[in-house]
C-alpha cells in the first residue's frame, strides 16, 4: 500500500484493517520511516481518507495504544459480540469481546468517541445516512 501513486490512481479506494490493525500500532514508527524514505507524504496524511482500523481489540491496553497512535478519524467502532472469544475475562469480569466498554474507558473526549462510534463510519460509508433514514433509524437532515 505504500506506493507513491496508489491513492492518486484510485482516489476512492479504502481499506479497513480489522482488529486494531493487528501489529500496525506497534510498528507505526517503522511505517512513518518507510513513508519518509520513500518520499511519501506524512503517514497521517497518507492514510487520511483511505486506511481505517476497527476496534475489535479485546483489552483496554490495546485500545489505548490504538487511540494513542492512530488518528481518531481513522478508527471505526466494531464489535464481535458474540465473537471469537465468547467467555468472560476472569481479570475484569466482563466479556472479552465487549469492545464498547473499552472505547467508553479510553482517553478520547466525547467528540472523539462520537467519531469512533458513528461519525467516522458515516464518512467512510457515505450512503449510510440516506439508508438509515429510509428504514427509519435516522431522523432529521443528513
Which residue among 12, 61, 80, 134 is the active-site one? 80
Residue 54 host element (H or E): strand 51-54
Please give the backbone phi and psi of residue 95, each rounded to the nearest 5 degrees, phi first: -60, 135
CB atoms within 10 A of CB 31: 17
CA distance 60 to 83: 17
Our CA angle for 77, 79, 82, nearest 5°, is 170
Q: Catalytic residue at 80?
A: yes
Q: Which residues are catalytic?
A: 80
Amino acid at each position: 500500500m505504500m506506493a507513491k501513486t496508489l491513492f492518486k490512481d484510485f482516489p476512492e479506494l479504502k481499506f479497513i484493517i480489522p482488529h486494531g490493525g493487528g501489529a500496525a500500532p506497534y510498528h507505526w514508527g517503522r511505517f512513518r520511516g518507510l513513508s519518509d524514505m520513500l518520499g511519501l507524504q506524512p503517514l497521517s496524511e497518507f492514510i487520511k481518507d483511505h486506511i481505517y482500523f476497527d476496534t475489535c481489540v479485546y483489552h483496554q491496553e490495546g485500545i489505548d495504544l490504538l487511540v494513542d497512535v492512530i488518528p481518531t478519524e481513522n478508527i471505526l467502532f466494531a464489535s464481535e459480540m458474540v465473537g471469537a472469544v465468547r467467555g468472560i475475562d476472569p481479570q475484569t469480569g466482563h466479556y472479552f469481546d465487549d469492545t464498547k466498554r473499552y472505547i467508553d474507558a479510553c482517553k478520547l473526549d466525547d467528540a472523539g468517541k462520537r467519531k469512533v462510534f458513528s461519525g467516522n463510519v458515516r464518512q467512510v460509508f457515505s450512503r449510510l445516512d440516506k439508508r438509515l433514514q429510509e428504514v427509519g433509524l435516522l431522523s432529521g437532515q443528513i
